[in-house]
Amino acid sequence: MLQDPAHKYVLENLSSAIFILDAQLNLVYFNPAAEMLLKVSHRRLESSRFDQLFGRMDPTLLKELGAIMETGHTYTQRESEFILVNASTILVDCTVSSASLDGKQVLIVEMQQKDRLVRISREEQLHENQETAKTLIRGLAHEIKNPLGGIRGAAQLLDAELNEESLHEYTNVIIAEADRLRSLVDRMLGTNRALSLCAINIHEILERICSLVNAESGKKVRIIKDYDPSIPEFKGDKSQLIQGFLNIAKNALQALDKQVAAGEPASITFKTRILRQFTIGHTRHPLAMRIDILDNGPGIPKDLLQSIFYPMISGRAEGTGLGLSITQSIFTRHNGLVECESLPGSTNFIVYLPLELSS
């Protein structure tokens, strides 16, 4: 099939994955984009049935394939999720049509991957929201700190004029609370200190976090390590990165409090992987890394999930809502990003960091 070199040239240079199937749904042709989409070799694809290429596919699509061969209609499924044989998930727009090729009726399946587009769109929205929050906080901090300074100064002057010792307690409370509010505002603004860059091994940082988690939990939380040893060193601010990862790990520990108290299994998994030709924000990096910090806690409520990186947003009554906001700021300064995926029984904070940090 596809003896015409012109047709073959066009199909092999498409960015969309193209599969041509016979009446038994066996593959008779696939282009290089199809190999890249499924992450399998040419030999693995040859003479395979289409449905055998996936760990799981939508049964509706499988049913439609047989119907299209008979009716000749075109079928399109938007943002359809497929599980590959390596257990990874892809999100694609899938279009199926029938055609006559070399006198035989065939099905043409076109798949356009949406994962990357959806993720980039989500990252852009997250970045815009973060910049909006920063602008709001800067303005709010200015409006708060100015009168706070006046209140504190007036309390100090009043304290100096008081003759009765018992009244000093009230002015001391005013001064202490003004200092507390000023400290809170400074934490909201985050650090303006320039990054102190040095060569860092990501696993050295994670081992430090694991030690701190073990110490804080009294070794009641199981630590699982799934490291990719091929990840090279990168340039970053070690103390800030430790703080960023520690904030995430502490969140995971707090989420597991009830499970630990009840004697139920509680675990945190630290997983690292290398990524090639990966886009973070608007920049495509030849090499990047992905760090997953996964806990088996109750999960984050869906209505809170989209706003957890905003300042003053917390799922705990005693929380300040500053930890994750500061964490996002730390990774942003390293040209990276942190995202969160959560379902009941599984919360995953995913950190993306480039392996070449521009100065």
The CATH topology of domain 5-113 is Beta-Lactamase (3.30.450)
Tokens of 227: 């490291």
Q: What is the pLDDT of residue 61?
A: 83
pLDDT at position 288 is 92
10 Å CB burial of residue 228 (0-12, 13-18, 19+) is: middle
Instruction: Tell me the pLDDT tens digit for each residue of 52-86.
Output: 888 787 788 888 887 888 888 888 888 888 888 77
Rounded to whole angstroms, the Cα distance separating 54 from 17 reads: 14
Q: Residue 290 corresponds to which tokens in the numbers above? A: 């992905």
| pTM metric for this prediction | 0.60
Which residues of the chain fall below pLDDT 50? 312, 314-315, 317-321, 358-359
Taking Cα atoms as reference points, which of 117, 71, 73, 59 lies closest to residue 93? 117
CATH fold of 197-354 reads: Heat Shock Protein 90 (3.30.565)
The angle at the Cα of 178, spanning 177 to 181, to the nearest 5 degrees, equals: 85
One DSSP character per residue, 175-188 reads: HHHHHHHHHHHHHH
pLDDT of residue 358: 43
Return the pLDDT at 311.
56
- Quote the pLDDT of residue 359: 42
d(CA 112, CA 77): 11
Q: How far apart (Å, rounded) are the C-alpha atoms in residues 115 and 160?
A: 65
Q: What pLDDT is recorded for position 291?
A: 95
Residue 51 CB contacts under 8 Å (≥ 6 apart), including other chains: 25, 57, 62
